[in-house]
Structure formats: structure tokens, C-alpha cells
Amino acid sequence: MNEILNELQKLNDRMSNLEENSLLNAKDVLTMQDVAKLTGLSMAYLYNMTSKRKIPHYKCGGKITYFKKSEINDWLLKYRVNTQEDIESEAAMRLHKNRNKN
């Protein structure tokens, strides 16, 4: 009986998570808590980034901080790290360019 109750609780937890994620995905304007859940970043880090003005955000009435979801996605993807293939391709292109100059 305990096993069944445990499985039901797990199923209920999963459904709650799915519902929460669906609601989060439907939002265009996010709270600090929403951004933390969406990105996996800590609240402390987000507070730090907003106070240093390093993350796009909005203030409503000077107190509550809001974020535009599309801007958060852009911010997260702002600093792409090149793959080894990208680096090698760029190096080959520069070598080819330099050889053609001489």
C-alpha cells in the first residue's frame, strides 16, 4: 500500500512540475523567481546581475523586477563559445587569406 501511495505522490509531483513549466513557457513577462526556474541561475546571482545592470530587466513602481522572456533568451545566448571545428576553420581561412596576400 505504501508503494502505491509513493508512486501516486511521485506522479502528482510530476504533474505539478509539468503544469508549472507549461505556465512558465506561456508567459512573456517573467518574475525573478520565473527567471531562476527557467535558467537554473540562483536568485542571488540574478539580484547581483540586476544591481550591476548586466541583465536586461524592468522595474514596476521601483520595487518589483520583471524580465522579458525573449531578452533573457537573447542574453543567455549572447556569448557563444566556438567549437574546435569553428576555430580550425577560422584558422584555415586566415592562413589562406595571408598566403593570397603574399
Segment 11-66, tens digit of pLDDT: 888 887 777 777 777 889 999 999 999 999 999 999 999 999 999 999 988 789 99
What is residue 102's predicted lDDT score, i.e. its pLDDT?
62
Residue scoring higher pLDDT (50 or 4): 50
Whole-angstrom Cα distance, residue 56 to residue 15?
A: 32
Model confidence, pTM? 0.67
Q: Give phi and psi for 52, each to the nearest 5.
A: -90, 0
Report pLDDT for 23.
Answer: 76
CATH topology of domain 27-101: Arc Repressor Mutant, subunit A (1.10.10)
The identity of residue 73, as a single letter, is N
Residue 11 is predicted with a pLDDT of 82
**CA 71 – CA 76 distance, rounded (Å):** 9
